[in-house]
């Protein structure tokens, strides 16, 4: 168990030090210098954002990328913006998080049996990473999934996250059932080197574009984590 935690810590140190994508480096650091007026007194993180949560997790959540004034500011996945408010409330209701409130890295948030990561670790302009940037970041996600022995469920938050995880399956894993087309609640049974019996569980992303329009409701997100618990506990 300690070895697994050390492996995850080593991966996240590499993530934080990454400068593979010059345009993303320039953008994330420019945002951190200029800041949004509402956060002018905040010290922005301005670096790639590492995974957050339980290194022994059976449930892994994969998001898209840090928000420019969310995780790029706070330095923690899904923290500091509206998407994070939705996600952590749902995780708290499901018992994965010790609290619903999220604000910054010092707010006391702890996750149990869940770890949050992303397809891309730097805030991209317009929240739209290029295919090249997604490819450059993929090895970090692949390394995390290889280090997380015993993962039973991978919740993909949005299609880009879903595509990234499926790409890893094609590279280093295998399908136990045919790949399901992306839609909320879709399931695909897979095998990865460290997780021979896992399920990709697709979810719409808790972005304001989805939550403000009713494409994603709290009940729909709760249903995802209820199902994740069932799959994680299944033998």
CA angle 50, 76, 81 (to 5 degrees): 135
* Beta carbons of 203 and 161 less than 8 angstroms apart: no
Q: Give the model's pLDDT for residue 235.
A: 62
Q: Residue 80 carries which DSSP code?
A: S
Containing H/E element for 137?
A: helix 131-147
CATH for 2-233 (3.40.47.10, 3.40.50.12280, 3.40.50.720, 3.40.470.10): 3.40.470.10
Q: Give the model's pLDDT for residue 1.
A: 60
Q: Give the model's pLDDT for residue 234.
A: 84
* Beta carbons of 51 and 117 less than 8 angstroms apart: yes
Q: Quick one: which of 125, 127, 80 has its CA closest to 106?
A: 80
CA angle 211, 72, 64 (to 5 degrees): 45
- CA atoms of 140 and 49, how far apart (whole Å): 11
Q: Give the model's pLDDT for residue 69.
A: 98
- CA atoms of 97 and 92, how far apart (whole Å): 4
Q: Quick one: which of 131, 135, 77 has its CA closest to 102?
A: 77
Q: Quick one: which of 77, 63, 92, 90 has its CA closest to 204?
A: 63
- CA atoms of 210 and 10, how far apart (whole Å): 34
Q: Give the model's pLDDT for residue 67.
A: 97
For the chain, list residues with pLDDT below 50: none
pTM score over 0.95 = yes
């Amino acid at each position: 168990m300690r070895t697994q935690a050390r492996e995850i810590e080593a991966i996240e140190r590499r993530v934080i030090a990454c400068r593979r994508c010059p345009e993303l480096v320039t953008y994330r650091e420019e945002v951190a210098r200029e800041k949004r007026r509402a956060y002018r007194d905040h010290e922005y993180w301005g670096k790639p954002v590492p995974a957050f949560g339980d290194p022994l997790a059976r449930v892994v959540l994969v998001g898209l990328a840090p928000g420019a004034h969310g995780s790029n500011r706070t330095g923690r996945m899904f923290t500091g913006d509206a998407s994070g408010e939705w996600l952590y409330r749902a995780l708290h209701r499901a018992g994965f998080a010790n609290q619903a409130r999220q604000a910054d890295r010092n707010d006391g948030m702890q996750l149990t049996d869940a770890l949050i990561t992303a397809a891309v670790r730097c805030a991209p302009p317009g929240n739209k990473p290029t295919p090249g940037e997604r490819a450059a970041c993929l090895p970090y996600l692949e390394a995390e999934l290889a280090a997380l022995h015993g993962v039973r469920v991978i919740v993909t938050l949005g299609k880009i996250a879903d595509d990234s995880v499926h790409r890893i399956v094609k590279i280093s894993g295998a399908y136990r059932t045919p790949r399901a087309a992306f839609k909320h609640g879709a399931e695909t049974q897979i095998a990865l080197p460290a997780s021979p019996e896992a399920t990709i569980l697709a979810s719409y992303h808790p972005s304001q574009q989805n939550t403000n329009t009713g494409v994603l409701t709290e009940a729909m997100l709760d249903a995802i984590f209820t199902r994740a618990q069932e799959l994680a506990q299944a033998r």
